[in-house]
Every structure is written in structure tokens, then in C-alpha cells.
Structure 1
Amino acid sequence: MMSFLVQACRLLCLFLTLPLRLADVLGLCSAYKRLFPLLAYKITFSYNRKMHRVKKELFRNLCGFANSDGSLRLLEIGCGSGANFQFYPYGCTVLCADPNPHFKAYLKRSMDANKHLTYEDFLVASGEDMNELPDESVDVVVCTLVLCSVRDVKMVLREVRRVLKTGGAFYFLEHVASKPSTWTFFLQQTLDPLWFYIGDGCTITRATWNDLESAGFSQLHLKHIEAPVTSVIRPHIVGYSIK
């Protein structure tokens, strides 16, 4: 019965999003690419306030992956407006990558507010294709609230492993699919077609932990949590893996 209800409600949601799908095909949604960085920047403050303890705990051992001279080169994929900068250790060198060039203005604000870091380039690149970066060129890769919206999670993780030095770490914090037969799962399955357009390609039904478990890292430290955020994206995974 639950499965039938999910499918029926999802079909209704798909029908209601037909105008958005048509606008996307016709290229009329491009203006939203300019607006979305502003919306994401505003939401960041609320999310960081609610997730401050989680993020602080996640990044507490970043320095453990520094080189013998104390340097630490960090790549953030899908950097957005720089919501994680405040949690990175003093002196860390940060390289930013995001497929949306319109984040640059908001990224600059976060850079100005976090002078304890050194910044390299802002690469306009997707996580699936970071060919500007050489193999084994960074000590740490960070990806938060990004794997939900990439085209191919497995391809992104392959690129992460490619650019990471041996012994380097990949840190992640992602909202994921809830357990089946829960009301959150029902809402996710139902609202996913609409959420995709509101969230600029964000998907709320991915079991991303499966991709991480099969990505080929030598170690994986992952836990499931219930984040203090909107119920439909409350299920999260958080942790890090080592190449």
C-alpha cells in the first residue's frame, strides 16, 4: 500500500513539475543559475548554526593529514560560498572548485572573513572532471552537500581518489535517503522531482553511503546521523575516508 501511495504521489509531483521540465529543456532556467548562489549563501548561515558542532567534530583532525613541513593543501569540491572555511586549520591552503561561476562573489566574502587561510584558484569545474588538477596533488578533499547534486557520484569519487595523495583524506557531509517505510522516505520519494529544480539539481533519494563503501578507499569512517534541519533532508552521513 505504501509503495502504491509513493508512486501515485510521485507521479502527481512529476506532473506538476512539467512546466519546469519544459523550461529547462528550452534553456529558460539559466537565470536561476545566477539566483541560486544568493539563496545558497543566505541558507548557509542557518545551516552552519544548526550544524556547527557536527562540522567542528568532522574537521577536528584535519591537521593530521598535513605534510612533514606542516603544509596542508585542501581541495573543496562544490565549494559554493565557502561555508566550511571557518572550520579549516590556520595556514591551510584552500583550492576551490564549483561548476557554477556565479558563486565567486559570495566566495570572496567568505575568503575576506577567514584570513587565517591561504587561497589558491577558484576552478569552474564539476567534480566529475577536474582535469586541471594533476594526480596526487592535494592532501585533503572536502565535499559537503554536493554529492546529492552531481551527475555521477562514482565518477566524482574516482576523481577524488585520483587527485588525493596516498594517505590523504576525503571528508564528506551529505544528506541521504531515509530508511524505507518511514514518512521521511515517503516525502523524499514524493518531492524529489520538485526538489531537483528548487535545489538546482539536488536529489534527496540517494543512498550515497553505498558509493563510498565501494569507492576503493583503504579506510572509511562513516556514520549516519539525524541532522537538526528540515525533515526531508534530516538523514545525513558524515565522516572521512583515507586513500
Structure 2
Amino acid sequence: MERLGLCAWYKRLFPFLAYNVTFSYNDKMHPVKRELFRNVHKHTREDGTLRLLEIGCGSGANFSFYPGGCTVLCTDPNPHFERYLRRSMAANRHLTYEGFLVLSGEDMGRVAGRSVDVVVCTLVLCSVRDVRRVLEEARRVLRPGGAFYFLEHVVAETASWTHFFQHVLQPMWYYIGDGCMLTRATWKDLEAAGFSELHLRFIEAPQVTYTIRPHIMGYAVK
């Protein structure tokens, strides 16, 4: 695929596919996302401002769940998402948008340390190269007392059929999902990341493909 140039072509196609899948996923996961983000507003500063950084923002699938008036800074390593991201921005005018930075989660040097109140990362840690490095960067840019919100699919229990098929399908899934890994135990990285508090739940995502049904959700406080 790389020699034929198909990987570069798929990088352009993937945002289109992800944008369209977003509508179905958000519909099925609406109660879950609403619960996940219900207390984001508690991290508002005394002056009434709330600066939120989303790692791997994609097409802006989470915008409708953010509290009105907060300022959102978007990052994603794939520049071809911007076209679809702008559509979501236009549809969610209750937010203020600071901009879109083409950055990987492992290297967000263009974002100042202790400069944001909330970091959001959903369905992203499954496809980054180095989960622990992304979490280090999230802690770096968060102010003390700020929170990291996450929603990720993870590897299933060892003795389950889902676990078996996750490993069987992983090689193909990696390319179809633009680097997505079905077999990550992401909660272990969160537990080792050095946050002062970790609020984590295991859930079975409703009505989604069985290979990505096991999820973790919650938030961690710096």
C-alpha cells in the first residue's frame, strides 16, 4: 500500500469516512457522552473562562456536548479533517474556537504548559504511537486541578470470544482504522500516568460493532 501510494490516498479518504460514521456513533453513544461531559463546567476558572483542548479532534464529534461559552482549541495529526471540522464548528455556535493545529498527541510543543483547564481525548488513544507520551503531554498542558476526559474502546476480557476476534482482526483493522488498535489495555496507561485522581469506568458500548464494544470512560485530575 505504501509503495503504491495508497496509504497517502487513504489519509485523505479517512476523514470523510470518520465524519459520516460520527453521526451513527454519536446517536448510539449520546447518553454515554452526555454523562461523560456533564461536569466539565466545574473546571471553569474564577474569571468565568474555560479553555478546552481536544486531542485528535477529528471532525468535531464532541462539540455539541461542551458547555456554552468555553473556548476550544483543536488538534489532529491529519490536516484533511479540517474541512469537516469547520462544518461542526458552524453547527455549534455556542462555543468559541481558538483554532486548529496539525499536531500529534505525542508532541504538542506549540501548546504552552499549564495553559488549559480541560483536555479531551475520545477514540484517539487506540491509534496513537505512544499512549504514555500522549498522557504526559496532556498533564503538561493542563493547569493544576484541570482534568483529562477520555472515552476509549479497549481490549476485551481474556477468556471472551471478543478478545479472540480482536486479535484475529487486528492486522486488517489497523489499516482500515488508520492505525487503530483493538488490543490495547489503555486503562493501565491511565493508572500509571501520575494523575492525582482517576475516575474510570468499564462499560459495554450499546449497539456498536462487537470488536469495539468494550470501552472505558471517565476523567483524571492533575
TM-score (norm 1): 0.90
Aligned equivalents of 1:25, 1:146: Cα separation in 2: 27
Gapped runs of 5+ residues in structure 1? Answer: 1-22
Aligned residue number for residue 149 of structure 2: 171
Higher helix share: 1
Counterpart of 1:68 in 2: which secondary structure?
coil
Answer yes or no: is 1:67 the counterpart of 2:45: yes
Aligned residue number for residue 115 of structure 2: 137
Aligned residue number for residue 10 of structure 1: none
Partner AA of 1:54 in structure 2: V
Aligned residue number for residue 213 of structure 1: 191
- Match for residue 69 of structure 2 among 91, 97, 115: 91
Aligned residue number for residue 239 of structure 1: 218
Aligned residue number for residue 15 of structure 1: none
Report the Cα offset of residue 184 of structure 1.
0.3
Partner AA of 2:115 in structure 1: S
Gapped runs of 5+ residues in structure 2? Answer: none
Map 1:215-230 onto structure 2 (within 5 A): 215-228=193-206, 229-230=208-209
Counterpart of 2:21 in 1: which secondary structure?
helix
Aligned equivalents of 1:174, 1:49: Cα separation in 2: 17
Aligned residue number for residue 14 of structure 1: none
Seq. identity, % = 70
Aligned residue number for residue 33 of structure 2: 55
Q: Provide the aligned C-alpha RMSD in A.
A: 0.7
Higher Rg of the two aligned structures: 1
Return closer, same or farther for 1:239/1:25 CA change in 2, 3 Å cut-off.
farther
- CA deviations 1:98-130 (Å, max 9, x no partner) are 000000000000000000000011000000000
- Match for residue 104 of structure 2 among 78, 101, 126: 126
Partner AA of 2:130 in structure 1: D
Aligned equivalents of 1:34, 1:25: Cα separation in 2: 17
Report the Cα offset of residue 24 of structure 1.
2.6
Aligned residue number for residue 40 of structure 1: 18
Aligned equivalents of 1:145, 1:190: Cα separation in 2: 21
Partner AA of 1:150 in structure 2: V
Aligned equivalents of 2:23, 2:168: Cα separation in 1: 28
Q: How many residues align?
A: 221
Aligned equivalents of 1:25, 1:93: Cα separation in 2: 42
Aligned residue number for residue 94 of structure 2: 116
Counterpart of 2:146 in 1: which secondary structure?
strand
